Chain A
Amino acid sequence: MFLRIVADSFGRRPRHKLLTGAALALGMGVATATLSVSLDVGDRLAKEFRSLGANLLVTPQADSLPLEIGGVDYRPVNAGAYLPETDLPKLKTIFWHNNIVGFAPVLELPVKAMLRFRDDRRSWPPNRNSWPDLLAIGVWADHALHLEDGAYFETGLEKTNPWWHILKGRWFKDDAEECVVGKNLARQKEASLNGGIPPGWPVGDNLVIDRGPSAPPLFLKAVGILDSGGLEDDAVIVPLRVAQQLANQPGQYRKLYVSALTKPEDAFAKRDPKTFTPVEYDRWFCTPYISSIAFQIQQELPGTDVRVIRRVAEGEGQILRRVQTLLWLVTGAALLAAALAVGASSAASVIERRTEIGLMKALGAGSGTVGFLLAAEQLLLAFVGGGAGYAIGIILARLLGERIFGAAPEPSLMVFFVIIALAGGVTILGSALPLRRASRYEPAPILRGE
């Protein structure tokens, strides 16, 4: 009988039920969309923040103090320590290896070098001491690193320094005798070559690097012009292998930039790890805080100092925290508004059925039975409407996510349960008030239409 009354109520006024259900679905859809977007926004923005480049710097522990002013190191040549390149695949074996977006080893060295026009192959001015002093930066541009588990990891400068653009040409290939020239240096080319060169970027020209009196100079083909906006615009970028060869340090590098996806540091993460209890230590170790990733890298690469690039890491953390608070606030407002709308419409639907309630009571139904019946009906509507709303919301969230971040948020089961629970709770709450009033109804006046 109970089920029959419920089914009959839906069958008798399908249009009305559809309207209430649609209101429910709409409200819950919007709630789903905002909830999905704000759950997802942290991860998306963290990825976006990687356009700021590396947030960790690895240097040799035994290194002497760099004496760098305006991009020029005033240390004696060959002072300082190096790190072995062969350790690098270990970076992808740490606990948070999936959070390591990219890394790039760097070896910088001063060279005497000049650009020669492409036709002057294998000829160079004899007085090598008068060649201009340049900074050569040895890096990986786009390097496929062979990992221990047999996979390849694509990494290099394009991951750690995404704001370095190639103005013209392309990046060098790591295994070719090629280089990329900073844009200021390329502009000065004419001055350093005493004319005879057509204007334009020296793409395709040769960079001649002095290798001391005993060896012939090294010829590198300039394949691109770099625009970094920084001091690198005055330098030449060469493959790491070439820099190692020039510095006579095979397989070594001096600093390593690491770009890692991290969780913003909270008060807990800012504590000194030495003061942690074992449980706290595990929690810290198993959370992708920048400090715990730095610690894990240091454990894998012995003899290194892993420093957090505070400008990037702290700025990122602060902005992420603020934006997330703001979004949760807005999401809260959205949920509240949805709840109000749904509550109001379910209240209205109960009020409209006063006559029916009166009739049921006249036929001897108790207040409890009537309330139970109506609540069951409302709940059924809530689940159907909530489910439809979830589907609408996921589509809406997809559209939003794709518009804003170019990637849709993953539908999450948690959101589904939250939405269904919210829909159920809100309809029950919304109907509770009119139902209580309904329980006090005297059947006779209602049936008389008073």
Chain B
Amino acid sequence: MPGQATNRAMFWRIIRRLLGANRGRLFIILLALGAGAAVTAALLNLQVDAQHRLTTEFRAFGPNIIVAPKRMDTETSPPTLDSSIIERIPKRFEAQPVDVVPFLYGLAKAAPQSGKNAAAATVVIAGTSFGDLQRMGSSWRFERVGAPTSALFSETECMLGASVAASLHVQAGDSVALHHEANVDRTSCFVSAVISSGGSEDNQLFVDLQEAESLTATHGRLSLVQVSFHGTGESVNRYIAALGSALPDAEIRPVRQFTEGEAKIYKRISGVLTATVAIVLVLSGLCVMAAMTNVAMERKMDVGLMKAIGGSMRRVLRLFLAEAALLGLAGGMIGAAAGIFLSVGLGKAVFGVAARPRLIVYPVAVALTIMVAILSAYPLRRLASIRPASVFRGEA
């Protein structure tokens, strides 16, 4: 039907003219819609990212799972695990990384290498890897010194808990002599840091795992493994269940203090975030609507003219709704892209790490903007009651 084709061509032509008629107004509408879309996209992206980032942030609390040997009643010395257990711990679970730090504990005699009051004391030595230790204890205070200058080249490195350092009268930078309680072989180590954690680490002397093995005369054994799983709530429980079936010979203990507390706090924080973000979204929607409504009311003349030359109200409305949808699409696409870039910067400001742009946010923000644009064109319905004659007389 040629009539319909002409109709459609006319429809689009009118829309083109409507959009192009007033460049300044077009710019203002696009600005309002774009700004709304940008805020929407930025907040949505930040919200998704923040919830993910918080679970990582919770790792400041340190390990949330302890893998320990099963307790035997008959054993007198502390039970140990075979060190092959490290390989059997799943290092990734539900796409979340898992940090694993092995520990071997033992008792050794320690004495300051130099000094008048050389008070020897029995201490708990903890063999581990220093790199992992610092990552796991990100909340501890490390009182460090630089590389050893006067110390012997062959000396190994060790870190002292604050209480150990205090009772040995040793500071970071000194050297400590170590030997097994039943053995006279002495080794000495350079104290590279003094750790204060407020926990049992304050009473321990940290050495390299191999050094601890030679001091305690064991090989291939571990006292416990600290595991830090980046997740909260249910996913931790699922990981613990998976660990339990992977390591039937060990005892898996969630650090309940943190797993429970974290789940609770996470719920609260994400509740606050969701609520405030929802409020801001509603508000920016209202803001865009207010701007659009003003524009719509200015169209009284156009509507009057269309009605005067015989346009039915349905067709007139369809015209304006199509215009609004088009504007929403354009504003949304520009604004949402800007918003996602904005959220990357904001994420950096809040969490120190740039927020990862999430693609799902983009279509959601654009769709929301189109919806707001169409909704705000809705007051045009009131124009149905306009009588062309009175509009042209400048009355209504």
Contacts and interface: CB of A to CB of B under 8 A. Distances in A.
Interface of A: 23, 26-27, 30, 33-34, 37-38, 41, 44-45, 48-49, 51-53, 56-57, 64-70, 72, 74, 132, 161, 163, 184, 188, 191-192, 228-230, 234, 307-315, 318-319, 322-323, 325-327, 329-331, 333-334, 337-338, 340-341, 344-345, 348, 396, 400, 403-405, 449
Nearest to A307: B198
Interface of B: 32, 35, 39, 42-43, 46, 50, 54, 57-58, 60-62, 68, 71, 73, 78-79, 105-107, 121-124, 137-141, 162-164, 167, 196-200, 202-203, 223-224, 253-261, 264-265, 268-269, 271-273, 275-277, 279-280, 282-284, 286-287, 290-291, 294, 346, 349-351, 394
Contact of B280 (A48, A325, A330): A330
Nearest to A44: B268
Contacts of A188: 73
Given A48-B268, A49-B265, A325-B349, A229 B253 contact: yes
A403 B138 CA distance: 33
Contacts of A400: 275
Contacts of B163: 65-66
B255 A310 contact: no
Contacts of B260: 51, 163
A26 B140 CA distance: 47
Given A67-B123, A307-B202, 10 more contacts: A41-B272, A65-B203, A74-B107, A311-B62, A315-B61, A323-B272, A326-B50, A327-B272, A334-B279, A338-B287
A70 B271 contact: no
B71 A184 contact: yes
A329 B268 contact: no
A341 B283 contact: yes
Given A27-B286, A49-B261, A329-B346, A68 B280 contact: no
B56 to A, nearest CB: 11
A337 B39 contact: yes
A327 B122 contact: no
Q: Which of A27, A69, A308, A309 has the most CB of B within 10 A?
A: A69
Contacts of B284: 333, 337
A341 B121 CA distance: 71
Contacts of A229: 253-257, 259
A228 B255 CA distance: 9
B40 to A, nearest CB: 10
Contact of B276 (A51, A57, A313, A327): A327
A188 B107 CA distance: 29
Q: Give the interface SS of chain B, mostly helix, strand, loop or mixed.
A: helix
A34 B279 contact: yes
A449 B35 CA distance: 34
Nearest to B266: A319
A400 to B, nearest CB: 5
Contacts of B265: 45, 48-49, 51, 319
A57 B198 contact: yes
A326 B200 CA distance: 34
Contact of A230 (B61, B122, B255, B277): B255
A315 B58 contact: yes
B350 A404 contact: no
Contacts of A23: 286, 290
26 contacts: A23-B290, A37-B276, A38-B276, A44-B268, A56-B198, A67-B107, A67-B122, A228-B256, A230-B256, A307-B196, A310-B197, A311-B62, A311-B197, A311-B258, A313-B139, A315-B139, A319-B54, A323-B272, A333-B43, A334-B276, A337-B39, A337-B283, A337-B284, A337-B287, A348-B290, A404-B272
Given A67-B124, A333-B39, A309 B60 contact: no
Contact of B139 (A27, A70, A314): A314
B124 A69 contact: yes
Contact of A404 (B43, B261, B271, B283): B271
A318 B269 CA distance: 14
A338 B255 contact: no
Contacts of B78: 69-70, 72
A132 B196 CA distance: 35
B78 to A, nearest CB: 5
Contacts of B68: 70
Contacts of B279: 30, 33-34, 334, 396
A311 B107 contact: no
Given A65-B123, A163-B257, A404-B275, A51 B264 contact: yes
A265 to B, nearest CB: 11
A26 B282 CA distance: 11
B275 A311 contact: no
A169 B199 CA distance: 31
B279 to A, nearest CB: 5
B199 A309 contact: yes
Nearest to B395: A449
B101 to A, nearest CB: 14
B48 to A, nearest CB: 13
A139 B197 CA distance: 23
A345 B105 CA distance: 70
Contacts of A192: 73
A370 B42 CA distance: 41
A33 B278 CA distance: 12
Contacts of A341: 283, 286-287, 290
Contacts of A449: 394
Contact of A403 (B106, B271, B282, B294): B271
Contacts of A49: 261, 265
B203 A68 contact: yes
Nearest to A314: B139
Contacts of A309: 197-199
Nearest to B161: A65
Contact of A319 (B60, B202, B254, B271): B60
Contacts of A191: 73
Nearest to A400: B275
A60 B319 CA distance: 82
Contacts of A319: 54, 57-58, 60, 265, 269
A41 B275 CA distance: 12
Contacts of B162: 307
Contact of B268 (A163, A330, A348, A405): A405
B70 to A, nearest CB: 10
Nearest to B163: A65
A338 B141 contact: no
B385 to A, nearest CB: 16
B73 A132 contact: yes
A449 B253 CA distance: 82
A45 B163 CA distance: 32
Contacts of A323: 54, 269, 272
B43 A330 contact: yes
